[in-house]
Structure 1
């Protein structure tokens, strides 16, 4: 019995639960347009869609850290565990749709047509809500905090550490039935006294959801001036701060929407209004300065939708193209144009590492824009503004992602360091750790590698490192001068291991390819069967060869004590970040005071690798998991 009251009957269906909407949809599509009774099913579908939109939009706003970071009540982020726990938040919508569907057939009263508008219905619903639903919910909620009911049913709702709109709908089956009754009483009551209307049903249900989301949004949006001017209002409408106290301290603030009943029941937390006032006053201040910032960028239009403020559940999984997001492509394209015209760097995520706040800021530029000559100046201006802003805030380290440190764009960050020699914030490209991760993936018995992008920052460092280990490096480049310059940097007895090649045919017998420049299917065909493609190219190459294996972009798994991370970094798995991101974090954790810009210092590859391992970062690849300096003949 407890099991039946704890879990929804369709829990075992997984995503197939949405087939329960099929009867509504089929009746709505196939029904006679003149059969007015069938409009009830149309209304069920429309209300469900609108309710889901309210929950989704509220959750999106809560995850827009660039808008509300100074208004957040609990500073921690929503992690993967909470996202998974609240994955089926919409079970509440399905349950109430099914009840409405059954009620239509079981009650002749509901089959009678309702008028579109009746002013008396709005008044009746408001009175019934305040006089019946509010005290009923208050008493029931208080009972659910008793030892038995709390442990069996209500603890699931409170197990989410950070309240968010999806938390409001995440509850056990028994609680959802109670909430359905609380919502249904005003609607049925107005119908019984003969003043119900379609518009009143819509307004009440959508307002109910709106206020539920408001209380669980973890962002204080109600200014304290309203309560200062109209003191009694604070007993008529709760605030996000008010409800967050219920989740952090419990034993108080049980109300649905009206703190009046907490005041009457002597369960009102005394610091509710003072804390709300403090949160409202502090909304214009930078209350939390990050120790480390990773300056990311968007890869393409579809991947721009892979952010927490769009769909948290989608962002919690590695990025891949999903057809259901295709209708949003035009919207994303328009937003791209607006961002291109004029926009600022924005905060998209944050997490805590050993109690230190780490944030991800994003330059609102798309991958292809970095390769447009006329866009170079504007992009560098946005990156420079981000660095100066971080410096002003007191950030210790800012790490540049992929294209933000492109050699042709700004010399791997050298442009900013040279232009602003007095920077206190350390600018880091993180490529030293990227090189270390790439080298770690190479098998111990490798004697020859084929390297594309050989004269780039990373290619140069990888080539010099491997030649010191007496590994032959076929350096693919169209610039003999740049090759010779790199070759001269190698020790005299190692220079012979660096070999200039200008055609892919030269690698037809080499089974270890390190790809730092994008290669097509035709170029990949020169690799012999069994080749493994290591890569540090963005975006990653396509996997054309079925008889070869492909490595992921250089990445590291975050330490186990990281808190508040709930989104995947592009195509990376949960808890995995690009190596350059990890490199910036290591730079900060080690307290290094130098900038890591421009050319890589080959001598520091082992130092950075060992520092990363010391702080709990782990390589993602399981090929060897050895230190780069162990690679030898």
Structure 2
């Protein structure tokens, strides 16, 4: 059994979410002060520690969000790779240091009684802290950082931090216990020194710790926000404040740029990377990769509802890395999300949510800032189609090869499954794909080979039609639920003459009371589900999925496929899908790109291509979401 190095592991690392119970005594003390010592509770040390913990966490959250806002910063990103699930899981407990420092601060409070009565503000204390930071904390951190880069110390302690290939704000907190004990000393010396000099204040604690966290997050954010013109006009600032580019070089060329915040100490220690300022100007001016990050493939998604709008990496990275479900911590955020929604409606055409690399091709997910309910408002159709059209034209202008339309963006009633755009712009170079051919293939391949009869709702829809025609060719009897005899007869005439008798029109759910295979393409109520016999299997392509009312029946998931194992940079889940799983229409666009097909896939599904697309998907390593090996499970979920 391999032994871990002393002080490399956290004492509470096995507690999971329950580690936050360590804040229990602080909460208890604040409550006690509030009810029994009302005049003193606002000056309670424990109250300030809890408030600081919240504010410091928010600093990391805000900086993490800014770093993941691809629609704002994709041209000034330093490392162009995506953050994958492994890095997110590795950094899941990035906030351990906040608990550690809160406990150390509580110990300091018990050790030094004079901390109980602090002034609100003392300018001399702030100046004292600044002097101690420059004269003690900066060189102490520089020396200890270089020390941790020694072979044995790096392997046992510091390598954990460098395993994060794409630095982000949360990466700044990812380190071993020993490293954070030293960092706590680096942080505490200026504050404690000011207190011992008799000039400590509440404002000093807040200002120093929040500024310290902000600068740490800035160095790890992977986005060059700082304009290079500042350093050209005031060259001496280059040695007083580092930049995201400066620190990113430490992660790529580890023997350089060791400083905490001030490159001056790297210059003195002769560890300053000579490329620091040149690269800072390069990324700050948006010249990284010629200022454009052009994807080969775009999946044009849309927002489902207010709650799911927060399931994006630039909101909460940890939440986005798990399949979506409504959680209590989202409720207080709904008003904020609503305001953002109004701003997006008024301002944004589309915005980039996430990206990943597959076979050397860059795949983007863009989103139309429209919510699900809007797609069913007649007066909103023109505006929605305009946004979709603008996204297609933008993709065409950029040189994107394939753009795949998600769920409601290809609604038949809205734009004929994308046909509207092809007719309006016949010279498009980008392939517009609805991906429903693969969706149909996934559903059909989930039906048992020995099945002889199915009951189909949504039978005259685009997918319903293709499924019915495919199954009747396999001599499977299809009970097509529809009140429109005209639509039924039109579909029936498309079937081969010797297969037409396998298509049967039914108008009531009672007709399926003996059929154990239901294919649901139209939302059905619990009462309608009650007509299915015990043991029935509900396959479905309806959005949202039907309620799982029957305990004696089996409910299939929405058609989806698992991406190949060699996908890189994927760190967010697609709505309710598992990690590494995407909706079949998304996967259909991926296959279209990998195969190099140049035709559009819009309008009615070509039944003759269903098997072709299915085999192409399997050839490229895509697998049905219901089979194969699942990805490693994530850590226990917690509020981000």
TM-score, normalised to structure 1's length? 0.97
2:510 aligns with 505
The structure 2 residue matched to 1:441, chosen from 442, 446, 451, is 446
* Pairing 1:388-427 to 2, within 5 Å after superposition: 388-427=393-432
The structure 1 residue matched to 2:125, chosen from 116, 121, 126, is 121
SS at match of 2:590: helix
Q: CA deviation at 1:273?
A: 0.6
Q: CA deviation at 1:334?
A: 2.5
Q: Distance in 1 between matches of 2:594 and 2:342?
A: 38
The structure 2 residue matched to 1:27, chosen from 19, 29, 38, is 29
Q: Distance in 1 between matches of 2:70 and 2:495?
A: 47
SS at match of 1:6: coil
Q: Distance in 1 between matches of 2:312 and 2:346?
A: 21
Q: Distance in 2 between matches of 1:87 and 1:342?
A: 34
Q: CA deviation at 1:248?
A: 1.0
Q: Distance in 2 between matches of 1:186 and 1:360?
A: 46
Count of residues in correspondence between the two structures? 622
Distance change >3 Å, CA 54–CA 221, structure 1 → 2: same
Q: CA deviation at 1:197?
A: 1.0
2:252 aligns with 248
Q: CA deviation at 1:333?
A: 2.2
Matched, 1:324 2:326: no
The structure 2 residue matched to 1:576, chosen from 551, 572, 581, is 581
Contact 1:299 1:539 in 2 (8 A): no
SS at match of 1:12: coil
SS at match of 1:293: strand
RMSD across aligned positions (CA): 1.3
Q: Distance in 1 between matches of 2:531 and 2:339?
A: 41
Q: CA deviation at 1:338?
A: 3.0
Q: CA deviation at 1:337?
A: 2.9
Contact 2:257 2:271 in 1 (8 A): yes
1:102 aligns with 107
Q: CA deviation at 1:35?
A: 3.2
Per-residue CA distance 1:401-437 (angstroms, 9 max, x = gap): 0000000000000000000000000000000000000
1:18 aligns with 20
* Pairing 1:11-160 to 2, within 5 Å after superposition: 11-31=13-33, 32-35=37-40, 39-111=44-116, 113-160=117-164
Q: Distance in 2 between matches of 1:59 and 1:502?
A: 54
2:360 aligns with 355
2:519 aligns with 514
Contact 1:555 1:577 in 2 (8 A): yes
Q: CA deviation at 1:561?
A: 0.6
SS at match of 2:156: helix
* Pairing 1:469-488 to 2, within 5 Å after superposition: 469-488=474-493
SS at match of 2:367: strand
Distance change >3 Å, CA 590–CA 37, structure 1 → 2: closer
Distance change >3 Å, CA 552–CA 47, structure 1 → 2: same
Matched, 1:275 2:285: no
Q: Distance in 2 between matches of 1:35 and 1:421?
A: 74
The structure 2 residue matched to 1:492, chosen from 484, 492, 497, is 497
The structure 2 residue matched to 1:456, chosen from 449, 461, 466, is 461
SS at match of 1:514: strand
Range with greater deviation from structure 2 (269-278 or 28-37)? 28-37
Q: CA deviation at 1:36?
A: 6.1
Per-residue CA distance 1:219-242 (angstroms, 9 max, x = gap): 000010000000010100000001
Q: Distance in 2 between matches of 1:479 and 1:100?
A: 73
Per-residue CA distance 1:504-561 (angstroms, 9 max, x = gap): 1111111101111111111111111111111111111111111111111000000011
1:626 aligns with none
1:260 aligns with 264
Contact 1:559 1:615 in 2 (8 A): yes
Gaps spanning 5+ residues in structure 1: where?
Answer: 624-633
SS at match of 1:11: coil
Q: CA deviation at 1:271?
A: 0.6
Range with greater deviation from structure 2 (579-588 or 329-338)? 329-338
SS at match of 1:600: coil
Per-residue CA distance 1:60-80 (angstroms, 9 max, x = gap): 111111111111100111000
Contact 1:27 1:38 in 2 (8 A): no
Per-residue CA distance 1:426-483 (angstroms, 9 max, x = gap): 0000000000000010011110001111111111000000000000001111211111
Q: Distance in 1 between matches of 2:395 and 2:4?
A: 53
2:550 aligns with 545
Contact 1:28 1:38 in 2 (8 A): no
Gaps spanning 5+ residues in structure 2: where?
Answer: 629-640
Contact 2:76 2:291 in 1 (8 A): no
Matched, 1:179 2:179: no
SS at match of 1:255: coil
SS at match of 1:494: helix
Q: CA deviation at 1:2?
A: 4.9
Distance change >3 Å, CA 502–CA 179, structure 1 → 2: same
Contact 2:312 2:320 in 1 (8 A): yes
Contact 2:231 2:237 in 1 (8 A): yes
Q: CA deviation at 1:106?
A: 2.0
TM-score, normalised to structure 2's length? 0.96
Q: CA deviation at 1:620?
A: 1.4
Distance change >3 Å, CA 452–CA 131, structure 1 → 2: same
2:167 aligns with 163
* Pairing 1:359-370 to 2, within 5 Å after superposition: 359-370=364-375
Range with greater deviation from structure 2 (214-223 or 272-281)? 272-281
Per-residue CA distance 1:371-420 (angstroms, 9 max, x = gap): 00010000000000000000000000000000000000000000000000
Q: Distance in 1 between matches of 2:121 and 2:544?
A: 56
